[in-house]
Structure 1
Amino acid sequence: MQLFSTFECTGFLEMAVSTLEKKGIQKENIFAVPLDNRTEDRKIFDSLHRSDGTSLIDIGMGIATAFAVIGASIGFELAWGPIYWGLISAFVGFVLGFIIRLFMELVVKKNKRVLKGKHSEVILIIDCEESQAALIEDILWKHFALGVAKVK
């Protein structure tokens, strides 16, 4: 029987492996595979086939609405009238909001990703007897495994 589990690269992985060795699992039956980190940067703009769930126009739409109301109100006293000034101020508000959101994605969130330091996970594969499976699964969960699966 084989047990598969995923861990973050932390000390809990080392403790889980040493606990398994203390419980009688030989080193030859424990196999750890580190996953590679992503080498390319994430793309800001979505395509038809890929979306990251981040919207760049949400702030722009809110600011455009606010600017349109203010521009239309002021437009009653200006030469072109409230409709033109409402549309012009809505466009300016949308562009301003889009630039703010783009700045947040490119600068602020990129710095957070670098500081957070996303580490790759490790897949731990353990060969064992069926009688040991429950004990090993319990040890893996106690050492904060992200997921555990059994294959007979």
Structure 2
Amino acid sequence: MYVVASFKLNKNLERVIAEIEYNNIDRKNILALPLAKKIEQKTEKSYHQKSFEILPITGSIIALFGMIYGFILEWGPILWGLIGLGLGVMIGGVIDVLRIKKTREQKENESLTEVFLLIHCSNKTQAQQMKTLIWKWSPAGVATYTKQAEDGSND
């Protein structure tokens, strides 16, 4: 009898394997099989093309405000427009860097590979015990598989 579980590659997988070994399942009866993922180049290109679009927007907006209020302030509209442009580009750069970090973290979380955990159990009670143990570590799914007799008879 086999217990099959699906996990994302993270610390929970390592913890559940350690706990299974702690419950007297030999290491040779445990198989962790990672699945390969296809990396798409198309999303990577669009990600880099949009990476610095906020810099000119914030620079232009704050430069415009600098020129408008520059008529009131002491140094004049041209100097305050340039100061606003520099300040806007810096603010846009900070926003863009934070946005890039956030999308990279999301891509890393999405790109985690899925791992199938296969445990060979000697009897049904041990398989049931392993299922309850695995469910504590929040897998994507758990199933049991009983190998049928090879003589063609179904029990």
Give the alignment's TM-score, normalised by structure 2: 0.51
The Cα offsets for residues 11-34 of structure 1, whole Å up to 9 and x where unpaired, read as 111110010011110000000001
1:65-76 equivalences under 5 Å are none
What corresponds to 2:52 in structure 1?
none
Q: Give 1:114 shift.
A: 3.4
The one of 122, 125, 132 aligned to 2:126: 132
Q: Give 1:115 shift.
A: 2.6
Tell me the distance in 1 between the aligned counterparts of 2:126 and 2:103.
40
Structure 2 unpaired stretches of 5+: 44-99, 147-155
Instruction: Determine if the alignment matches structure 1 residue 34 to structure 2 residue 27.
Output: no
Root-mean-square deviation (Å) = 2.4
SS in 2 for 1:38: coil
Tell me the distance in 2 between the aligned counterparts of 1:42 and 1:33.
28
SS in 1 for 2:41: coil
Identity of aligned residues (%): 29
Give the alignment's TM-score, normalised by structure 1: 0.52
Alignment coverage as a number of residue pairs: 89
1:42–1:2 CA distance, 2 compared to 1 (3 A): farther
Instruction: Determine if the alignment matches structure 1 residue 17 to structure 2 residue 7.
Output: no
Structure 1 unpaired stretches of 5+: 44-109
Q: Give 1:42 shift.
A: 5.4
Tell me the distance in 2 between the aligned counterparts of 1:15 and 1:34.
16
Tell me the distance in 1 between the aligned counterparts of 2:104 and 2:26.
38
What corresponds to 1:144 in structure 2?
138
